[in-house]
Structure 1
């Protein structure tokens, strides 16, 4: 495959950056994909529609992230085989992964359709936005298999060291979503329902076109009908690596849903404001997110090749580069958050609420450049259980308690509630440094034998 990269030889930073740029662009388009819904709804509909899309998309993102995080097991497993020079095993890994995730997608379709109302209620969706929230969740839930397939394609190719193909799939989906939103929301005034339909339709088109493209690619392994034979050992390995990451992401996502539920109880303006801030945050966190995904692919290959020093050097490089951008993102969000928020909303009160919440995320930017790179590193090293533990500690022992306590302080400030996130990040970074120290000692002991 022409886009496949071997990270176990040669220079480190150059190839890593070259790999990370398409990942960054894909994440940007993915964020734009989600932001377009809110942007167009914010411009052509009412605050209740903004709240409905905000809450509904947050729920859907949490559920789909559960599956896409589980697919990290396949990304890391494939990377290890490439590092071990056993790429030919990839066909069985990919086939079993497809069977695993499509069956999960069918379960989610049934679950979301049945419990859409319960999910909206749990989230304290404001009364005037409740029905819109349920509609968004139900429509997107009906397309869960499509959404999962869309994310699965990216995970497979990142494991092969190919970050270009996932970029193309996201580009197709983003273009289709913009066209769909403009047609259904701005043109036919369908509001929240139009945004949900556009989301699912765009990803369906992307999956179909992507499969046609992939069928013409030269893969480093054979993927035929004989590969689609259930292999319990492969399934077990994918789940063993991916389940802790998925559980961590699910629980972290739940913690953010709890915070959103707390904010929703403050009214539709606060709810819409935080929804807008979350969309802005998706953009300002792009660079550390791109490096996290890139590190997983880079480190898994070097771990497979036994080149641990090279993996550690890669970690230091990406943290340094990520921090430079983090300073700029902090300045933009903290001092000019209103200019960023007005892109997604026309209501002055919603913009002001969003900026207030964004100031806390701006502070978090200075820390996530460390945390996200650490998470990518430890995932690649197959320390996924540690990634799970640090995520749970940050979410449930810091983020939720701090946000709840702050919500009870008068006068209530979205900035103070938002400070729960950087408090959690600092705690998780401390845990990562401790784990890194233990890992280095373990590696030194192994080398001395």
Structure 2
């Protein structure tokens, strides 16, 4: 069900929109954690290190999917806010078809390059075979990762965050059941958890496709009733793929995708530093980052809500409402950062001990626990960063987000080279906080400058007389209007 985010109290609207995404991310992190818990306790810390090491690279593929879907979210959200349902339908079909085609190419390339990529992050010989198995199976199912991310982005752009939650709940249950079945009953090791993940993603993708198709048909029927259109559904669908729309989505997606590539590159580089300390520190990092991801994804849920909120309100010419959304998003994000960051510190040893047992477990627990202490500082900077980025991305100011993403990587690499020889793995944990802090300050400064107001993709079609299409008064239009002029 679509939802208009241009009306109602901003704080309540953002929170209610974010809660289903937050729950969905928790479920997603839950089944990712189950992968690690199962292999760490029933296969060994080498297997846990292999899953974590492989995740560093498979995250790059997921980041590409997220970056591509970001362009669709901005484009669809702004046109939905502007009331242009024709552009919305074109964008949905165009972005989905392109996402599937791109993921198939990437999947083939990834499978062929698995070994060089693992060598790039200095994967120890004892971990290499299991890492290869996990990566190859995961990458073969990459089309489902891309499809689910794109379709979920479409639902969010249309104001519906509940359906993606339902899909993730089903996928989480499937993944957990299959993890236990493949590893404990069939003794498949890391291959089992990888296969379980792929099957779970396939289930969520199919569900998302079926329900979105129904929603598009409903939108089409509503438009036909409104304007008397006699176009047949099959003919309409065949005409939805538009190269001009694809170009606009790619134009928005490229900076976001490059930003995700920068983030992925930074993670790969940091994994290389971590790997240099051996399998036990690799296992500690794998366990600790699972809990940091819960904190990050909780705050990211608010950011995604702010992005959808900002996109629709930019399309509706309500920039003052976008500012209010930023303030509420920041307050909610800081609340999650403080509560979850404090919980990570207080419960650090019991949390890490969930992932490992047996010989060598104590060293893993100590190293992982120390990472969670540093996570508190990171969580505060995440709140600042993602709140500002939510507005910047929703407004279409994606190039700046890309620039600071790359700059953050340079800061992290420099800090890692300086601190790790002096502080050991603790220097790497400190590097994470430094990187988040630098990026957060830059994003907040950009938001405060107000330059994002002129970046809306529907800005070129705003009426010069200051009137809305229905004759209402224009609200909060930016002082300077630039952007792409869309046809009617």
Superposition TM-score tier, normalisation by shorter sequence: over 0.9
Residues 302 and 332, structure 2, Cα contact 8 Å, conserved in 1 = no
Corresponding position of 1:327: 338
Corresponding position of 1:192: 190
Q: Which structure has the larger Rg?
A: 2
Q: Write the distance in 2 (CA, Å) between the matches of 1:87 and 1:214.
A: 15
Gaps of 5+ in 2: 222-232, 455-475, 482-488
Gaps of 5+ in 1: none
Q: Write the distance in 2 (CA, Å) between the matches of 1:259 and 1:221.
A: 48
Render the CA deviation track for 1:27-46: whole Å, top value 9, x for unaligned. Answer: 11111121111111112111
Corresponding position of 1:317: 328
Residues 371 and 429, structure 1, Cα contact 8 Å, conserved in 2 = yes
For residue 368 of structure 1, the aligned residue among 365, 382, 395 is 382
Q: Write the distance in 1 (CA, Å) between the matches of 2:261 and 2:312.
A: 26
Count of residues in correspondence between the two structures: 444
Q: Give the root-mean-square deviation of aligned CA atoms.
A: 2.0
Return 227-236 or 76-85, whichever deviates more: 227-236
Alignment of 1:241 with 2:252, yes or no, is yes
Please report how far the alpha carbon of residue 441 of structure 1 lies from its aligned counterpart in structure 2 after TM superposition.
9.8
Q: Write the distance in 2 (CA, Å) between the matches of 1:446 and 1:258.
A: 40
Please report how far the alpha carbon of residue 330 of structure 1 lies from its aligned counterpart in structure 2 after TM superposition.
2.1
For residue 18 of structure 1, the aligned residue among 16, 22, 30 is 16
Distance 1:442 1:216, change over 3 A: closer
Return 153-162 or 358-367, whichever deviates more: 358-367
Corresponding position of 1:64: 62
Residues 384 and 444, structure 2, Cα contact 8 Å, conserved in 1 = no
Please report how far the alpha carbon of residue 201 of structure 1 lies from its aligned counterpart in structure 2 after TM superposition.
1.2
1:27-426 matches, within 5 Å, as: 27-217=25-215, 219-221=218-220, 224=234, 226-229=236-239, 230-346=241-357, 347-396=361-410, 398-409=411-422, 412=424, 414-426=425-437
Q: Write the distance in 2 (CA, Å) between the matches of 1:248 and 1:278.
A: 20
Distance 1:99 1:440, change over 3 A: closer
Q: Write the distance in 1 (CA, Å) between the matches of 2:162 and 2:452.
A: 37
Query: What SS is found at the alignment partner of 1:168?
Result: helix
Distance 1:440 1:417, change over 3 A: same
Please report how far the alpha carbon of residue 225 of structure 1 lies from its aligned counterpart in structure 2 after TM superposition.
5.7
Corresponding position of 2:459: none
TM-score, normalising length from structure 2?
0.87
Distance 1:301 1:264, change over 3 A: same
Residues 273 and 350, structure 1, Cα contact 8 Å, conserved in 2 = yes
Query: What SS is found at the alignment partner of 1:85?
Result: coil
Residues 420 and 426, structure 2, Cα contact 8 Å, conserved in 1 = no
Render the CA deviation track for 1:108-127: whole Å, top value 9, x for unaligned. Answer: 11111111111111121121
Distance 1:225 1:156, change over 3 A: farther
Render the CA deviation track for 1:199-233: whole Å, top value 9, x for unaligned. Answer: 11111122223333444446434775643444221
Residues 317 and 477, structure 2, Cα contact 8 Å, conserved in 1 = no
Please report how far the alpha carbon of residue 435 of structure 1 lies from its aligned counterpart in structure 2 after TM superposition.
1.3
Please report how far the alpha carbon of residue 446 of structure 1 lies from its aligned counterpart in structure 2 after TM superposition.
5.0
